[in-house]
Amino acid sequence: MLIFGTTVIGARDIRRATAFWAGALGLTAGDPFGGNGFTNLYLPDGRPLLSIQQSDHDAEPEPRMHLDLYARDSDDQAAEIERLVGLGARRVPWDRYPDDSDFVVLADTEGNLFCVVDNAAAPEQARLDLP
């Protein structure tokens, strides 16, 4: 039997990436220097959600996999984007936005792309039941 463990993000600067993602998602970081170039970021209940792994490679300019982070609505989305930019993310000039896009593409401190989605504007099948 398999269970989903964690999502791993590669980073040249593991300290900076760990600080960004811990701040972005309100996670607690484990020891990033336990000798293996790998750290887990934990939920408040102690479960790992995300891992940062030392990498010697640059981020892919158009990755086939990425994270979607959901905000409640467009106001929450705008506020979260500003907060993430304050933590070190950057807006990505993306020429593939559909009309009435419900997402904004950002890059983390390492250039890894991710999206911030307006849950209220997302297609019904993609909406989450957010608190």
Distance of CA 85 to CAs 21, 90, 91, 104, Å?
Answer: 12, 6, 8, 12
Tens digit of pLDDT per residue, the chain (131 long)? 998 889 999 999 999 999 999 999 999 998 765 667 889 999 999 999 999 999 999 999 889 999 999 999 999 999 999 999 999 999 999 888 888 899 999 999 999 999 999 999 998 989 999 88
* DSSP code, position 85: H
How confident is the model at residue 25, as a pLDDT? 97
Sign, CA torsion 97/102/104/105? negative
Task: Give pLDDT, residue 128.
Answer: 92
**Model pLDDT, residue 34:** 61
pLDDT value of position 57: 93
Q: Which domains does the chain have, with CATH numbers?
A: 7-54 (3.30.720.120), 67-126 (3.30.720)
The candidate with the shortest Cα–Cα distance to 44, out of 28, 58, 56, is: 28
